[in-house]
Structure 1
Amino acid sequence: MKNTLGALILGALSLSAVLSSSDVAQAQDRGRPPRGSYLQTCRNVRTERGTLFARCEDRRGNFHDTRMVDWRRCRGDIENDNGRLRCSGRR
């Protein structure tokens, strides 16, 4: 009986750890925006499920809603290219 109870507790703790690590990954995606020069000319920046959303200024001073799918793959700078998010460098 003691071994069964120990196994159940260990199983519950393992499941809890797996679920909380998934929650942490989702929370990080909704946390701070990724670094990049785009932050100087973009506002309303947020991430959701691997997509970066922002409202970025173009050369004329107009703002545009833009997004970058799978922003984590960008190994260079995330920049504002005339109102659009772009990865300068390797993806």
Structure 2
Amino acid sequence: MKNTLVALVLGALSLSTIMSSSGPAQAQHRDREPRGSYRRTCTDIRTERGTLFARCKDRRGNFHFTRMPDYRRCPGDIENDNGRLRCARRR
């Protein structure tokens, strides 16, 4: 029983190491997609060197390419404001 548990833990650690090391070339200049309500109405979301890029839907349902430089400085929600990314400051 103890040997089985040790084997499972070691297997999980090995898998975790393999998964985290795959694709380092992709992540060199890209960040994770930040959280925010914009994700409900925007597609093609990506980040590069501190700028958030997306295609966001306006009130009529048309998509627009938009970007938000220095998105990390937004202390509140990142939202889609009629097809444009905007920082909604915390109140």
Unaligned ranges ≥5, structure 1 = 1-23
Distance 1:28 1:77, change over 3 A: farther
State how 1:1-91 maps to structure 2 within 5 Å: 27=27, 30-89=30-89
Count matched residues: 66
What TM-score, normalized by structure 2, do the two folds share? Answer: 0.66
Give the distance between the partners of 2:66 and 2:60, measured in 1 at CA: 16
| Greater Rg over alpha carbons, structure | 1
Change (3 A) 1:60 1:84: same
**CA–CA distance in structure 1, aligned partners of residues 30 and 50 of structure 2:** 9
Give the % identical residues.
76
Runs of 4+ deviating beyond 6 Å: none
What CA deviation, in whole Å up to 9, does each residue of 1:29-54 have, x standing for no partner? 62430000000000000000100000
Would the alpha carbon gap of residues 87 and 28 (structure 1) be closer, same or farther in structure 2, given more than 3 Å must change?
farther
- Structure 2 gaps, min length 5: 1-23
TM-score for the superposition, normalised by structure 1: 0.66
Q: Which structure shows the higher helix fraction?
A: 1
